[in-house]
Structure 1
Amino acid sequence: MSSTPHHLAEEFPDHLVQMRHLRDTDGHFHRIAREYEEVNHRVHKAETNVEPCDDFHMAELRKRRMVLKDEINGMLTRAEPLADEEA
């Protein structure tokens, strides 16, 4: 298993400006991005045995992270590109 954290900035490097904009202007995006980071942090702590957990809990955390990432990706895909991203 990889113990590399999956931060949103690393997962969506081409959408950094758009993510920052959505965090500031879209309450739903802000909430799910924050939840993604929290779940991702818990997965990383479990993978590195800082806070180990059983396999079932780890699988549930990873599933939740994937669901959140898919929702974030969908919102980024549907959102209008910002001027800074086109340059």
Structure 2
Amino acid sequence: MQNEKHPLHLEFPDHAIDIAKLKSDNPEFTTLAKEYHQLDHQIHGLEASGIPTTDSHFSELKSRRVALKDQIYQKLIQGDF
């Protein structure tokens, strides 16, 4: 396990300003970003604490984070802000 956080501003450094604008102006984006952050925090917490979890559960969490990241990226490249 890597035990590192994946905040959006580091995942998409070229879009940091767009992320901040969308978080304040777009409720749908805000919801996606919030869920992504909470999930990233949960994954990081599991990695850091060594709390037992099944591999399938951990994989599901990471897969959901990737799916959210993809949705967020699509919003960023659409440029509707």
TM-score (norm 1): 0.85
Contact 1:45 1:52 in 2 (8 A): no
What corresponds to 1:18 in structure 2? 18
| Cα distance, 1:64–1:24 mapped onto 2, change above 3 Å | same
Question: How many equivalent residue pairs?
Answer: 81
Runs of 4+ in structure 1 over 6 Å off:
none
Q: CA deviation at 1:3?
A: 1.1
RMSD, aligned α-carbons? 1.5
TM-score (norm 2): 0.91
Q: Deviations over 1:2-45 (max 9, x none)?
A: 11111111101111110010011110000000000000011111
Structure 2 spans left out of the alignment, 5+ residues: none
- In the alignment, the residues of structure 1 paired with residue 59 and residue 33 of structure 2 have an alpha-carbon distance, to the nearest angstrom, of 20
Aligned sequence identity (%): 35
